[in-house]
């Protein structure tokens, strides 16, 4: 009961803040705005009317009684509107420097406070959760409105909608893009308590996922035979998926794959016994869902609907947020229009072109031919196109384990890896000096810096035998993120343009790195055949993850239509959505209906509306890969990833001279299929 009260108290405060904000909002009426405009036009000149009107309109929307009286509103606008372009440029640079200091240090503090949660440092304690969920930046919005810094930005730098950026951005120079980025820093006025509560919810969801491990040695089949080694512990979903992939050529491979597939479905449907999560105490048969202590079957309770309750908790917080984003009234709008900077309909149409394509269906026939059997649903993770020289995973584990015994060994090898990829030694040394390696508690991730002088973090799993191949494969992927994070921070001409248009663009570079992991180990060599297979691999990976992304998007649409949904109702809905999307785009390929496997991804729980970044990343990945043929990889990657966080359209045109499109991938796949 104490926990329930503890969670409810902040919600009361948040609701009170919202109600108070609504009463204060629109304090500045149209007549007062006109008076302010007239005053400034007289003082600054008619030539500045358009910018004056925009600035005053922006300030007026956020100005409340607590910020000052009507006269003080007009006085603030008169005193702080900057007409002279040189003075405005000076203001821009001063704001940029100070925001870098604030957000860069807050990001660094947050990463360090979260280390007990994110890194392999022993059991998580309650105080670790408290510090890990603390958001050092949660008061920035309140403070920067209260001291009028944000009003200086609103008055002098317009915020642009996505449609405006797509239209006007074609004619902008780099400074205009940077000015627009500054204007778009202030699009809401969320109270600190709301931001902190959202951070708490996010931290709990991430901790739940990072601790969701399955001890594979406890799994048995109907004959009570164990198929996996006792020391193999896999995180859901990443570890389970990659383990399934690894058994296409192993002994009893299909039986192991079917067992993992059954296990995944138990997780999705919340039928998994709670006693087998992150525990090796009992024996479990995921095929019939029976659990044993020794040789005796025991009664076990299923995991309660925790998986879906975390989504509900997120949703409740997003509802609280919505009122503060008048131009982006739902988290769906914010994810696509603000985050991805592409309309949701445009993104999903790209996916549906691939999901419905004949090239996918011909690729499926080729996979069935190569496997010499009908496809099964888990073959959405078929990885046989990756290499013609793949070693058994046990040998790869031995190789990576001996090469990378710990995080320090990988850190030392980063410059070597970069040189192998095509970077000059000096640039490789620069990049490696700005990246540190940490042993991850979860599957692994990349955490970038937000100020120059700070470093990016590469986090992946290590075992007591060193890094296994799964950890290595993830590490190379995350390394790609780190290279992007470093170039797009240190090489951009304006700090406020740091980063990339959206996370799909950093995923694209991560994929470019990851696909070369075996070559970097020296166990595979590029060839004409491997390049053809690589095209089909990208297409098949895109086909799989595009369906997953549609499940995620549809889930959030449903939640907004059912604001009072329970976790149990959400579980039933997600499995239903997953089956519907399967039946639409996969059933004809696999010859079986009503599969819920597209709902297994952990991102659905801990990273809301992130999943569409992966298939977008595959599309961009292929376009970059195609463009980079016969070019200097290192120099081109540096040039491209120094473009910064402009719109996807502008970034792609500057990077490869073409817009984002699935046509190059489908056309290349069609040509590759002719060889088979």
Q: Tens digit of pLDDT for each residue in 532-560?
A: 999 999 999 999 999 999 999 999 999 99
- Residue 369 is assigned to a structural domain of this protein: yes
What mean pLDDT is predicted for residues 483-511?
Answer: 97
* Same domain flag for 352 and 500: no
pLDDT of residue 49: 97
* Same domain flag for 575 and 468: no
pLDDT of residue 17: 36
Q: How far is CA 497 from the centre of its chain?
A: 19
Cis peptide before 237 (omega within 30 of 0): yes
How much is the mean pLDDT over the chain? 92
What mean pLDDT is predicted for residues 348-366?
Answer: 98
Span 64-74, pLDDT tens digits: 999 999 999 99
What mean pLDDT is predicted for residues 307-329?
Answer: 94
- Single out the residue in 139, 158, 190 at which a domain terminates: 190
* Same domain flag for 439 and 457: yes
Tokens of residue 571, six digits: 């579980």
pLDDT of residue 389: 53
Tokens of residue 13, six digits: 């405060």
pLDDT of residue 192: 84
* Same domain flag for 515 and 558: no
* Strand 290-293 relative to strand 435-439, pairing: unpaired
* Same domain flag for 622 and 551: yes
Residues in the chain: 676
- Single out the residue in 465, 493, 521 at which a domain terminates: 521
* Same domain flag for 15 and 160: yes
Residue 390 pLDDT level (bands cut at 50, 70, 90): low
Integer CA distances (angstroms), 197 to 138, 269, 328, 338, in order: 9, 28, 20, 21
Residue 408 CA to residue 337 CA, distance in Å, equals 40
Span 402-425, pLDDT tens digits: 999 999 999 999 999 999 999 999
Instruction: Look at residues 382, 360, 361, 354 and name the one whose alpha carbon lies nearest to residue 370.
Output: 382
* Same domain flag for 669 and 594: yes
pLDDT of residue 50: 96
Residue 122 pLDDT level (bands cut at 50, 70, 90): confident
Instruction: Look at residues 615, 600, 606 and name the one whose alpha carbon lies nearest to residue 502.
Output: 615
Residue 394 pLDDT level (bands cut at 50, 70, 90): confident
* Same domain flag for 375 and 430: no
* Same domain flag for 540 and 417: no
- Residue 455 is assigned to a structural domain of this protein: yes
> What dihedral angle (degrees, nearest 10) is formed by the CA atoms of 150, 156, 162, 164?
170
Residue 21 pLDDT level (bands cut at 50, 70, 90): very low
- Residue 532 is assigned to a structural domain of this protein: yes
pLDDT of residue 388: 47
Q: What percent of the chain has pLDDT over 70?
A: 96
- Residue 195 is assigned to a structural domain of this protein: no
Residue 75 CA to residue 178 CA, distance in Å, equals 28
Integer CA distances (angstroms), 483 to 107, 142, 242, in order: 18, 34, 24
Residue 481 pLDDT level (bands cut at 50, 70, 90): very high
- Residue 485 is assigned to a structural domain of this protein: yes
Question: b/e string for 279-314 if b means 16 or more Cβ within 10 A?
Answer: eeebbbbbbebbbbeeeeeeebeebebebbbbbbbb
Q: How far is CA 603 from the centre of its chain?
A: 8
In this prediction the pTM is 0.88
Span 236-289, pLDDT tens digits: 999 999 999 999 988 899 999 999 999 999 999 999 999 999 999 999 999 999
Give me the DSSP letters along 463-485. BBTB--HHHHHHHHHHHHHHHHH
- Residue 463 is assigned to a structural domain of this protein: yes
Residue 279 CA to residue 256 CA, distance in Å, equals 20
pLDDT at 24 over 60: no
Domain that holds residue 87: 2-190
pLDDT at 671 over 90: yes
pLDDT at 9 over 50: no
* Same domain flag for 558 and 635: yes
Question: b/e string for 242-261 if b means 16 or more Cβ within 10 A?
Answer: bbbbbbbeeeeeeebbbbbb
- Cα angle 77, 82, 84 (rounded to 5 degrees) comes to 150
Phi, psi of 68 (to 5 degrees): 150, 165
Cβ contact 148:72 at 8 Å: no
- Single out the residue in 134, 161, 190 at which a domain terminates: 190
Number of domains in the chain: 4
* Same domain flag for 474 and 512: yes
Alpha helices, DSSP H only, in 2-123? 2-24, 30-44, 49-62, 70-80, 85-113, 115-118
* Same domain flag for 220 and 177: no
pLDDT at 7 over 70: no
Span 597-645, pLDDT tens digits: 999 999 999 999 999 999 999 999 999 999 999 999 999 999 999 999 9
What mean pLDDT is predicted for residues 290-296?
Answer: 94
Residue 448 CA to residue 480 CA, distance in Å, equals 11
pLDDT at 5 over 60: no
Strand-pairing partners, residue 298, are 291
- Residue 658 is assigned to a structural domain of this protein: yes
* Strand 213-215 relative to strand 444-447, pairing: unpaired
Cβ contact 624:512 at 8 Å: yes
- Residue 196 is assigned to a structural domain of this protein: no
């Amino acid at each position: 009961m104490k926990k329930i009260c503890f969670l409810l108290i902040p919600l009361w405060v948040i609701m009170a803040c919202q109600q108070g904000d609504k009463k204060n909002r629109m304090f500045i009426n149209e007549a007062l705005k006109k008076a302010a405009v007239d005053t400034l036009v007289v003082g600054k000149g008619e030539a500045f009317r358009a910018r004056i009107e925009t600035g005053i309109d922006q300030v007026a929307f956020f100005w409340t009684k607590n910020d000052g009286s009507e006269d003080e509103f007009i006085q603030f606008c008169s005193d702080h509107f900057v007409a002279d372009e040189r003075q405005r440029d000076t203001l821009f640079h001063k704001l940029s420097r100070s925001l870098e200091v604030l957000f860069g240090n807050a990001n660094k503090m947050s990463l360090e406070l979260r280390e007990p949660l994110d890194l392999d440092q022993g059991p998580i304690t309650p105080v670790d959760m408290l510090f890990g969920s603390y958001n050092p930046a949660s008061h920035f919005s309140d403070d920067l409105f209260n001291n009028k810094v944000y009003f200086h930005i609103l008055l002098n730098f317009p915020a642009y909608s996505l449609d405006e950026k797509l239209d006007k951005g074609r004619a902008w120079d780099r400074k205009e893009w940077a000015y627009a980025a500054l204007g778009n820093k202030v699009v809401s006025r969320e109270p600190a308590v709301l931001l902190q509560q959202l951070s708490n919810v996010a931290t709990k969801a991430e901790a739940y996922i990072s601790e969701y491990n399955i001890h594979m040695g406890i799994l048995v089949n109907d004959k009570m035979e164990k198929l996996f080694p006792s020391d193999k512990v896999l995180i859901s979903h990443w570890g389970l998926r990659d383990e399934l992939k690894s058994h296409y050529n192993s002994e009893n491979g299909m039986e192991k794959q079917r067992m993992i597939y059954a296990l995944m479905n138990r997780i999705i449907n919340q039928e998994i016994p709670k006693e087998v999560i992150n525990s090796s105490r009992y024996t479990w048969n995921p095929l019939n869902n029976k659990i044993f202590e020794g040789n005796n079957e025991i009664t076990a309770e299923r995991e309660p609907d925790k998986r879906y309750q975390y989504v509900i908790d997120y949703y409740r917080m997003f509802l609280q947020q919505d009122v503060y984003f008048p131009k982006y009234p739902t988290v769906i709008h914010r994810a696509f229009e603000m985050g991805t900077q592409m309309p949701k309909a445009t993104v999903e149409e790209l996916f549906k072109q691939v999901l419905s394509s004949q090239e996918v269906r011909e690729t499926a026939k080729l996979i069935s031919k190569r496997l010499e059997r009908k496809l099964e649903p888990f073959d959405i993770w078929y990885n046989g196109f990756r290499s013609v020289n793949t070693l058994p995973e046990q040998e790869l584990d031995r190789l990576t384990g001996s090469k990378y015994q710990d995080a320090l060994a990988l850190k030392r090898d980063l410059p070597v890896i970069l040189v192998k990829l095509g970077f000059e030694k000096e640039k490789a040394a620069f990049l490696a000096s700005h990246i540190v390696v940490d042993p991850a508690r979860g599957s692994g991730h990349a955490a970038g810096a937000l100020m120059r002088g700070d470093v990016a973090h590469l986090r992946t799993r290590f075992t007591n035998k060193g890094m296994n191949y799964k950890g290595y494969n993830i590490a190379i992927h995350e390394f790609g993120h780190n290279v992007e994070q470093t170039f797009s921070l240190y090489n951009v001409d304006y700090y406020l343009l740091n980063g990339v248009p959206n996370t799909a663009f950093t995923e694209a570079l991560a994929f470019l790195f990851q696909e070369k992991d075996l070559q970097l180990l020296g166990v595979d060599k590029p060839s004409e055949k491997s390049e053809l297979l690589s095209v089909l691999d990208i297409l098949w990976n895109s086909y799989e993850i595009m369906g997953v992304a549609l499940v995620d998007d549809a889930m959030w649409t449903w939640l907004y239509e059912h604001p009072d949904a329970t976790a149990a109702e959400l579980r039933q809905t997600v499995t239903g959505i997953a089956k519907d999307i399967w039946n639409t785009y996969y059933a004809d390929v696999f010859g079986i209906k009503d599969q819920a496997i597209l709902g297994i991804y952990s991102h659905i729980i801990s990273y809301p509306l992130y999943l569409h970044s992966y298939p977008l990343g595959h599309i961009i990945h292929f376009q970059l890969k195609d463009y980079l043929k016969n070019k200097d990889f290192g120099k081109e990657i540096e040039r491209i990833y120094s473009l910064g966080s402009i719109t996807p359209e502008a970034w792609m045109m500057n990077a490869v001279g073409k817009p984002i499109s699935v046509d190059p991938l489908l056309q290349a796949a069609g040509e590759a299929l002719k060889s088979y």
